[in-house]
A and B are shown apart, each in its own frame.
Chain A
């Protein structure tokens, strides 16, 4: 599973949200001195899509967004918006608007004037602008706050002013740079759903940059996981999680247990994988079968592993000793050491019952097992 079949699968997913490509990055490269921030990257974002760029800091996601906004200019490649090449178009002439991570509200003018700023640049009648500002204030539930100054608002209110200001000109693409980063957890969850509702009702295309996988998973129709200026995978959230294209994506999004080995026999869509540390594991194939003897990696998510005290009948089973138990309320995370394997196996147990009959304890020896289709075959990491 390299980048190529990934792209094919990507096209297949278009039936989920539909629509034409609105934004196209074509072979875009951006360097800062010796650092390549974005490396020959091509990506399409469809009209009406809620699209997330996900990756650790320094992966180039912010640079990519800033190039679309017009604050940075690609060294190579093209950026098309609605079929128009944006290279050479200054930021203030682009039909995009950004909600800045720091919000960047103008501190010297009122909330209403902040929201009206973009409208005034367009020109237009004063009463039309006032009406639009009132409409936006109502949309972000800040009616009656228009006369205040940004520093008289709470963090959550400031975030909503920034959102209203960015929406005011009805951009073709709304750019959101870490939109929830500065909010506390409770507010972040609420705002997350508000943004999704807003995107659905407006039909506007949203491009969000985030380092927070939960944020991207919840909100986005599709996610581009980025690494070192390149795309590691572009897919809907469920696919990113359940069918990570490579080791990098599997490890970046959620927790995962990885096994390395060699392909042995393929029968009935199930490949036998010879791993030194965990014996022979069975893996149900989604795509093409690997050739005999090929090295491969497979991933198993912690919540897909069953924990038992008695030896299970499945082929994929490991015996280990519990070393750590972390209680999270909804889940309990356990780590177990398996003889001959360096990394512990992580298991997530859903706490479906209020009382556990026989809770596990550190030091206890248990069996871990999973079905053949719980594991996923990983492609090679891009260099």
Chain B
């Protein structure tokens, strides 16, 4: 009876995941094992019924994955994505922690307003906000004008179409994902714990590292993964701000899919990316479980 009820409760989310995650993933997996063809859709073989399943299976192969392994471009793209995403995540944490801390320590009445201010940029289109950064970063753009007017710099910085621009764009876009979970755990933190640490001889700095940071860990982990995972696959920001200088796997995928019309290779790139992302997700879940078990 309870088993049945449990199954019934679990059924809708399972169905949802099966329909909108597992099934599409299996389709992508299947395409990644196919080969490109001049057809619509541009790959072969196609499933043509149970009678010909032997031929269908025989036509599938892992050559796309071999291409990924052999062509250095893809490996470079993955590594570059990971590096950029990790750097962006670290910078987001560095900026987000003081921000979240300040909000959590603000007068109680101010906090909701400050949280809204963090989320407010979401009310405009992501794309428009990234375009705005083009206007800011381009040579002789807003940033250059201000810096040159203040005599800080004498020549344009030429930031647009560099990795720095991509980092700026990612840190800007993902900052709320870092600030919100950090705020949630810092706001709950009992301030008398910090007082207790100071009472027991810890300077403010020691108290911060031995009490505040360990207790904010769940928020830190959540923020890190909420930023890291989407950053790895980020496409729009490197495409608009990075130019040819930045090689990221999201862009590679887009090129394979739309420019080269190589759906199978693009699918293989996507599957490998998913596998790379599953690693951190599993670590995250493990950490979350450990935190809960305490």
Contacts and interface: CB of A to CB of B under 8 A. Distances in A.
Interface string A84-112: 00000011110011101010111111000
Contacts of B197: 106, 117
A100 B196 CA distance: 8
Interface in A63-98: 69-71, 90-93, 96-98
Q: Which secondary structure dominates where chain B touches chain A?
A: helix
Contacts of A92: 198-204, 207
B206 interface: yes
Interface string A175-209: 00000000000000000000000000000000000
Contacts of A105: 196
A117 B190 contact: no
A194 B284 CA distance: 46
Given A107-B215, A108-B214, A69 B199 contact: yes
Contacts of B198: 70-71, 90-92
A106 B199 contact: no
B294 A165 contact: no
Contact of A91 (B199, B210, B294): B199
A108 B293 CA distance: 12
Nearest to B206: A121
Q: Which of B198, B207, B215, B217 has the most CB of A within 10 A?
A: B198
Nearest to A121: B201
Contact of A108 (B195, B203, B207, B215): B215
B190 A169 contact: no
A122 interface: yes
B294 A71 contact: no
A103 to B, nearest CB: 9
A118 interface: yes
A93 B206 CA distance: 13
A-side interface size class: 20 to 34
A91 B195 contact: yes
A149 interface: yes
Interface residues on B, range: 20 to 34
B193 A104 contact: yes
Given A121-B201, A169-B200, A71 B195 contact: yes
B211 interface: yes
Interface in B35-81: none
A122 B11 CA distance: 57
B192 interface: yes
Contacts of A149: 294
Contacts of A93: 201
A104 B190 contact: yes
Contacts of B190: 102, 104
B195 A100 contact: yes
A239 B210 CA distance: 46
B202 A121 contact: yes
Given A104-B190, A104-B192, A108-B294, A98 B199 contact: yes
A168 to B, nearest CB: 8
Given A93-B201, A121-B200, 12 more contacts: A90-B203, A91-B198, A92-B199, A98-B199, A102-B190, A104-B190, A104-B195, A105-B196, A108-B294, A117-B197, A121-B201, A122-B201
13 contacts: A92-B199, A92-B200, A92-B201, A92-B203, A98-B196, A100-B192, A102-B190, A106-B193, A106-B197, A106-B211, A107-B193, A109-B214, A118-B200
The 7 residue pairs across chains A and B that have the minimum distance between CB atoms: A118-B200, A121-B201, A104-B196, A104-B192, A91-B198, A92-B198, A108-B214
